[in-house]
Copies of this chain bind each other. A is one copy, B any other.
Amino acid sequence: MEKSTAQRILDVAQDMVRNRGYSAFSYADISKQVGIRKASIHYHFPSKDELVKELVVQYRQTMGKACDRIAKSRASLDQQLIQFANLYRDGLSNGQICLCAMLAADFAVLPESVHAEIKIFFRDTEAWLGELLQQGCDDGIWTCQPSVTQEAKGLIAMLQGAQLLARSADNSTATFEQVVYPLLTAKFSKS
């Protein structure tokens, strides 16, 4: 099944926002890559704000599904944690950081409608990771201090921050891995 024009616009826009940020991409940029005139984009997404809002909604779905796949994979809990971290590593080689990390940086120039969607992303991510961490506590694999929620927030912060660090380094992926995985295995490991 072929992708709709709206979806192709969203795909290209996501790439650009994750790479350059909200203020540094334009309808003209999208139009070149999608192969339609910029006026035509307004038919699908009347304003830039609505386009970006839709971007976040879809990103949440994609990430949610990816997390569900990890949870259902029956891998060990510490392996699930690694796979979760991999989600944040994988875009780096193409110069992409988490959409919501970028939009959190751009927060001050975004409308309230987008703010709300970003908040839901972080809330959902914390909830999913919190559940995973709680399981590990229950199973006696690791402990979370002072609480599972705090630990989840700290982990997410580390992942998002590691993306920023990685981005300004010469080898993004390697830098990310060197920062994230040692700390992950030191703190959350089976043995």
Q: Which residues of A contact B (CB under 8 A)?
A: 19-24, 95, 97, 100-109, 115, 118-119, 122, 145-146, 150-151, 153-154, 156-162, 164-165, 167-169, 178-180, 182-183, 186
Q: Contact at A164–B21, with CB atoms within 8 Å?
A: no
14 A-B contact pairs sorted by A residue (CB < 8 Å)? A20-B109, A21-B109, A23-B23, A24-B106, A100-B168, A101-B105, A101-B161, A101-B164, A105-B167, A107-B168, A154-B183, A158-B161, A160-B165, A161-B164
Known: A22-B24, A97-B105, A150-B182. 7 other contacts (CB 8 A): A21-B23, A21-B109, A103-B168, A105-B164, A118-B168, A153-B178, A156-B165
Known: A161-B157, A162-B161. Is A21-B106 also a contact (CB below 8 A)? yes
Known: A105-B97, A153-B178. Is A168-B115 also a contact (CB below 8 A)? yes
Known: A102-B105, A108-B20. Is A165-B146 also a contact (CB below 8 A)? no
Kindly list chain B residues whose C-beta atoms are within 8 Å of the C-beta of A186.
145-146
Of B95, B106, B158, which is within 8 A of A154 by CB? B158
Kindly list chain B residues whose C-beta atoms are within 8 Å of the C-beta of A150.
178-179, 182-183
Minimum C-beta distance from A125 to chain B (A): 10
Of B19, B156, B164, which is within 8 A of A160 by CB? B164
Q: Once bound together, how far apart are the Cα atoms of A95 and B108, in whole Å?
A: 8
Number of copies: 2
Kindly list chain B residues whose C-beta atoms are within 8 Å of the C-beta of A122.
165, 168-169
Q: Once bound together, how far apart are the Cα atoms of A159 and B115, in whole Å?
A: 21
Q: Once bound together, how far apart are the Cα atoms of A119 and B175, in whole Å?
A: 13
Q: Once bound together, how far apart are the Cα atoms of A21 and B22, in whole Å?
A: 10
Q: Contact at A168–B104, with CB atoms within 8 Å?
A: yes
Minimum C-beta distance from A147 to chain B (A): 8
